[in-house]
């Protein structure tokens, strides 16, 4: 696969990361409320960290990983990515705090899952969330992810040590069932 899968929803564009996104990344990821829920991003988040982020997440081998910048009205507000596509795909996402609890990440991740599970026919995708991240856990369940257990993880933005995580997995069947349930609920 050589063409980056740009996705559009009713209000969002999911596009490739660009070097010009560095200042916006620094602006957004200076917020420790965001970075403490991520494994790989430090706090404080610097221009050098943004450069490392972009080197890691700009388009490369699309058979291995796909990482989208999430735009609302032409402004980056977050990210969605799936890595390890050749093995056990792993989903990660983050969003500007002022957009939390507004359905934005549901819209973005739904588009990504539709592409990955239904178009690319990835058999399943894993995700995890720190146990104190109720918002991400609720989003994963709403999308159709099934809770598979608990584990521990690290965050570069927290004190040293491990923190409890909740583990999830979704299949195309789980995703379709959750989408059908949302349609039924909306019709009532």
Question: Which CATH number characterizes residue 128's domain?
Answer: 3.40.630.30
Domain ranges, residue 122: 7-187
pLDDT confidence of residue 2: 67
pLDDT digits (tens, 9 = 90+) for 131-143: 999 999 999 999 9
Asked whether residue 98 is domain-assigned, the answer is yes
pLDDT confidence of residue 160: 84
With CA atoms as reference, report the closest residue to 99 among 120, 73, 78.
78
Helix axes 22-29, 47-57, angle to 10 degrees: 110
pLDDT confidence of residue 1: 54
Asked whether residue 31 is domain-assigned, the answer is yes
Q: Which residue has the higher pLDDT, 111 or 61?
A: 111
Q: Count up the domains in the chain and report the number.
A: 1
pLDDT digits (tens, 9 = 90+) for 36-66: 999 999 999 999 999 999 999 998 889 999 9
Asked whether residue 2 is domain-assigned, the answer is no
Asked whether residue 68 is domain-assigned, the answer is yes
Asked whether residue 134 is domain-assigned, the answer is yes
Asked whether residue 94 is domain-assigned, the answer is yes
Asked whether residue 1 is domain-assigned, the answer is no
Pairing of strands 146-153, 66-72: unpaired
pLDDT confidence of residue 109: 98
| CA–CA dist 55, 62 (Å, integer) | 14
């Amino acid at each position: 696969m050589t063409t980056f899968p740009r996705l559009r929803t009713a209000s969002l564009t999911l596009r490739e990361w660009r070097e010009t996104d560095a200042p916006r990344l620094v602006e957004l990821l200076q917020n420790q409320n965001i970075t403490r829920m991520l494994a790989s991003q430090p706090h404080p988040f610097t221009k050098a960290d943004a450069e490392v982020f972009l080197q890691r997440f700009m388009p490369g081998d699309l058979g291995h990983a796909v990482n989208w910048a999430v735009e609302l009205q032409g402004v980056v507000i977050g990210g969605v990515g799936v890595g390890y596509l050749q093995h056990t795909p792993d989903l990660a996402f983050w969003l500007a705090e002022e957009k939390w609890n507004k359905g934005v990440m549901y819209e973005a991740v739904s588009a990504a899952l539709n592409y990955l599970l239904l178009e690319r026919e990835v058999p399943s995708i894993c995700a995890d969330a720190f146990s104190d991240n109720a918002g991400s856990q609720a989003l994963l369940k709403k999308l159709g992810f099934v809770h598979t257990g608990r584990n521990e993880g690290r965050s570069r933005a927290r004190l040293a040590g491990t923190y409890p995580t909740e583990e999830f997995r979704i299949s195309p069947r789980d995703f379709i069932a959750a989408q059908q349930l949302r349609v039924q609920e909306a019709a009532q």
